[in-house]
Amino acid sequence: MSEQSRGTGRIRGTGSRRRKPARRHRAKVIAAWTVAGVVVVGGAGLGYAYMALDGNLSSIDIDAKLGTDRPDDVDDGSQDILVLGSDSRSGDNGEYGQDEGAARSDTAMVVHVDKGHKSASVVSIPRDTLIERPACESDTTGEQVPAEHRAMFNTAYEVGGPACAVKTVESMSGIRMDHYL
């Protein structure tokens, strides 16, 4: 008696029945969603970190304060960057200690990036190095502060901010600073 005669309306096949590989398919779907989730969450985290860090950076134009009495600009593709850190307790740093007046540069490094951008050299300038500080414009009053013989390096930042620190490093080294941080 055939299947049709039983009234089910189905015809029974003679071949073997194929099963769907459900477990393998489910594992692939779970893996794909997991990877997609990691990419989305990771991308959002990186975006947030970028925005938070980018918000901490600000730039000021010091070219006018530097004047024209500077070392020659060597345009060979290399970069010389003055990296400054200050002991200021202003702004968000106020919670870490009292502000004791003007900020001084407690960290100064000159970074030279070669023209191929394959290597960099760093020279640290100790904050208490005795230097010949050039005349600088005061960061607070705008008045001209006279040059000083045997001044400590960190007073350059205190007297005239980043522009005076750049002028001081340029006069000490004879190297034009392309940027400062």
Report domain extents, the chain: 19-57, 63-180
User: Which residues have CB under 8 Å from 48's CB, separation 6+?
Assistant: none
Residue 7 backbone dihedrals phi, psi, to 5 degrees: 90, 15
Fold of 63-180: Nucleotidyltransferase; domain 5 (3.30.420)
pLDDT digit string (tens) for the chain, length 181 residues: 554 555 566 666 665 666 666 777 888 999 999 999 999 999 999 999 888 887 766 667 777 778 788 888 887 888 999 998 876 555 554 555 555 555 666 788 999 999 888 999 999 998 889 999 999 888 888 899 999 999 998 888 888 888 999 999 999 999 999 888 8
